[in-house]
Amino acid sequence: MNCDKGFVIWLTGLPAAGKTTLARALKEELQKAGKRVELLDGDEVRRWLSPEAGFTKEDRERHLMRVAYVSRLLARNGVAVIASFVSPYREVRSKVRKIVEEDAKFIEVYVRCPLEVVIERDPKGLYKKALAGEIRNFTGVDDPYEEPLNPEIVVDSSEMDIRDEVFEVMRYLREGHLI
């Protein structure tokens, strides 16, 4: 791989773990490094690619397969893709990896954050609703989150500040000669 090739950074973690915050900061750093960058964020992409999808395992998988394909297309055309999705199931993340790796480097970044911390953060009030039974199939409450077994990078947003998280990802990219 060389610096002209694209790649996919797949951020996974519980809702409110800090994926979007990291994605936005990474986008800025990658642009400073001269990369063409596309940020695919869960809520926005779902609205356009899978407006019919609910949050069952099957709907989530179908949606993420679409995202993986779009990510692969962008990456094989030299774009650095930052995909920020809860993507709670290991099996589905494995399928996403296989799709992307047909044409590009796939980098799984686990944005770790304990459940009690994300419940406390709860910026959209979704955990409160899920815990009250108002939202079904909510990851971390009544739907599982399967932690990655071998992600390329782990950052812990409950212990690291955003600069340190970005540094870890950028270091990985530099060491891999991707930037």
CB atoms within 10 A of CB 174: 12
> Which residue type is seen at 111?
V
Active site residue 87: yes
The partner residues of 156 in beta bridges, in order of sequence, read: 112
Nearest to 87 by CA among 165, 10, 23: 10
The span from the CA of 146 to the CA of 105, in Å, is 22
DSSP for residue 143: B
Burial 128-141 (b: 16+ CB within 10 A, else e): eebeeeebeebbbb
* Among 87, 94, 157, 158, the one annotated catalytic: 87
Which sequence positions are flagged as catalytic?
Answer: 87
